[in-house]
Each structure stands twice: as structure tokens, then as C-alpha cells.
Amino acid sequence: MDKKTIKDIDLKGKKVLVRCDFNVPLDENQNIRDNTRIVAALPTIKYLLENNCKIILCSHLGRPKGEFKPEFSLKPVAKELSRLLGKEVIMAKDVIGEDATEKAANLKEGEILLLENVRFHREETDNDPEFSKKLASMAEIYVNDAFGAAHRAHSSTVGVASYLPAVSGFLIEKELKFLGKALNNPERPFMAILGGAKVSDKIGVIDNLLEKVDALLIGGGMAYTFFKAQGYNVGDSLCEEDKLDLAKELMQKAKDKGVKLMLPVDTKIGKEPKAGTETKTVACTEIPDGWEGLDIGEKTINMFKEELQKAKTVVWNGPLGLFEVEEFAVGTNEIAKVLADLDATTIIGGGDSAAAVRKAGLQDKMTHISTGGGASLEFLEGKKLPGIECLQDK
């Protein structure tokens, strides 16, 4: 996917509408708990400033479901952006209303305007042409830099591209470079680690990756569906009874493709999925009733470590245990440490795995951490992302 970026067009002095992903976590006092997504947008914004653009930023935050809700306002983002850039970011009171259109019309070169939450309008998620047209009418060029929303066909991610020349920002360019190369031209051995709660969330990903990887390591809640499919008792562990046949099919496909499919051999089990519960480690084939698997065990950690030492490219999506609870975060943390020390391209596919790597303080040791959970999953599935498809080809 060779898409035009902001470097491929003449931007000087132009009015540019930039779709960012400022969907950041806020605490009860509207303070930003993690500014990673805002920081990720800075290279694109700074490049536009260097080219004396008049910059209009837009984003969603949370799920206000088409209504104005003050707790989902982007005001804290405007404040944080102003701090990071060392210059004022003007905040609009609305999205396509009088305040926004007037402020956009009066923007001078080198000024930045942030529109209010685009999801305060139901038309945004409906990809309403009239709403898209009004949004586009404020600018001369459209830049999509919101990889985290690129799998959504909304007005601000797709609709506006019908009315303006549309290119990608540096963040989307970076995501496509790393994720695209991993899938289409990886340095081998190429391995994937998949975790998370459900097989159903990752069916497409497993299916697509089995066409491409040399080894697939599976952990997290979804592993127990594979054990149940082989006839083992999984106690009270997470298990999708309706996906047992599918798990069998995937294991068979791995065999047919000559892909090494590695499941855990031991598991740390607990009476309840919470801190302070009684725990012990057992073989994955011997989980007693009344207990549930909540992390991979030490033998599995060592087995995964040994396999990963051979890798030249690794993609990781989904934690390997209940990482939010300290006693069940060991597997996830240990594998994160292994990847941090590898002489390989290491790509973390957004969402919980990215959160786990940051929690372990190892984000700087990874080659690339995706900013899009859902978008990177769909990309790994081989799906086309509407927010990228609508951009101009090189």
C-alpha cells in the first residue's frame, strides 16, 4: 500500500484538516492519564507548522453517541497539545457550527485550531455526506493520521476524502511501513505471539498469519479453547464452547502449512480472577474443576523464550495472562523482556499488549508499537482499512 504522504504534495501556506487519534484516557477530573496518542501526532503537526500551514485538527474521544457531553470534550487535549508544542492551540466550541467555521475561516499561517469531538454528531459515525462536506469545506487538503480509527468508515476518516485531496500523515506512514513489511516481506524466521481472551476475536488474524509465519505462539484466555478442543478439562477457565471445531481446524491448518503452533504446557491457575486469590501452577492438561487458568507457567515462559531467540521478526498481539493483576502478569512481562533484548524487528500490535509493554517500561526497546488496537488487528487479518484505502496512491 503505497499511499501519498504529506511529503508528496505542496502544502505551503495551505489550510489543512488533520484527523488525529486523540482518544486518550481521562481520569474523573478530566486529566489525561496517558498522552501517548497525542505525542504520536506531533511529527505531522510540526511538519505542517514548518510549512506555514493553517492547521485544523479533529478527533473523537470516547463514545458520546452523537450527543454533546462535556466529559468527552477535547479541551484537555487542546491544553496538553499547547504544552507539548509550546504554542497556543485554539479550541473550537463545536465541530461544524458557527464557532468552528468562523475560527477556521480566520486562521492565520502557523496557527492551530482543534475542533470539538467529532462524535458529538451522529452524522460522523454514519459517514453522512452532508456532514463530511461541511467538515471538508473548512480546508484545502485532508491528512489522515489516525491509524487507531482507520478501520472505521466515518465522515472524518473517509467521507472528507471525497471532497479534498487526501494523504497520510507520518504516523499512518510508519504503521504501514512496519506492519506492512512484517506481513508482506518479513525477515525470517517470522513469529507471531497471540494472546487475549477469545479465539473469536482473533480467528481472522490466526487464519491470515498461518499463511505467513514460521511459528505461532498462543497464550492468554484463548489457549483454553484449544485445550478443550483436544478433549482436556479446563476447569473454570475462559473457553468458547462454540469455537472448539474451529480451534481443531486451525491446528490442522498449521500442521498442513508446516507452521509450528505452540500452546502453553503449564498454567498458573487461581480460584478467582482477582488479586489475592489462591494460586498454583499445573500442567495445561490437568486443570481441576473450580480453578481457572490466568497466566502461562514457568515451563511455558522458558519454552517460548527459547523459540523466540531464533526469530528475526516478531508480531505480538494480546497479553498472555490477566496482566492487570500482578500475580498473573508474570508471563506477559517475561515475554516483553525477551522481545526487548532480541536482535530482531519487534512489533507490538496496539491495545492491551501495548499497555502491557508500557507498564513494564519497555516501550523504547521495541521496534514499533502500534497506536491502533482494532485497526492493527484488522490489518493483521489482511483486511483493507477504509481510512487508508481512501488516500491518494503514490
Q: Which of 14, 15, 19, 37 is catalytic?
A: 37
- Examine the residue annotation and report whether 63 is marked as an active-site residue of this protein: no
Find all residues with CB under 8 Å of 302, minimum gap 6, and list them.
Answer: none
- Examine the residue annotation and report whether 12 is marked as an active-site residue of this protein: no
Q: Which of 97, 204, 374, 382 is catalytic?
A: 374
Find all residues with CB under 8 Å of 179, minimum gap 6, and list them.
Answer: 315, 347, 349, 368, 370, 376, 379, 380
Nearest to 310 by CA among 179, 219, 214: 214
- Examine the residue annotation and report whether 374 is marked as an active-site residue of this protein: yes
CB 59 within 8 A of CB 74: yes
**Cell numbers at residue 103, please?**
475560527
Tell me the one-letter amino acid at 358: R
Q: Which of 351, 372, 373, 387 is catalytic?
A: 351
Tell me the one-letter amino acid at 12: K
Q: Which of 79, 198, 299, 358 is catalytic?
A: 198
**Cell numbers at residue 65, please?**
453517541
From residue 20, alpha-carbon distances to 63, 138, 230, 391 in Å are 16, 16, 45, 15
CB 47 within 8 A of CB 78: no
Residue 202: Cβ-neighbour burial (10 angstroms; 0-12, 13-18, 19+): buried
Nearest-angstrom CA–CA distance, 53 and 269: 56
**Cell numbers at residue 161, please?**
476524502
**For residue 17, which phi and psi values (nearest 5 degrees)?**
-95, 120
- Examine the residue annotation and report whether 196 is marked as an active-site residue of this protein: no
Three-state DSSP class for 7? helix
As annotated, the active-site residues are: 37, 198, 351, 374
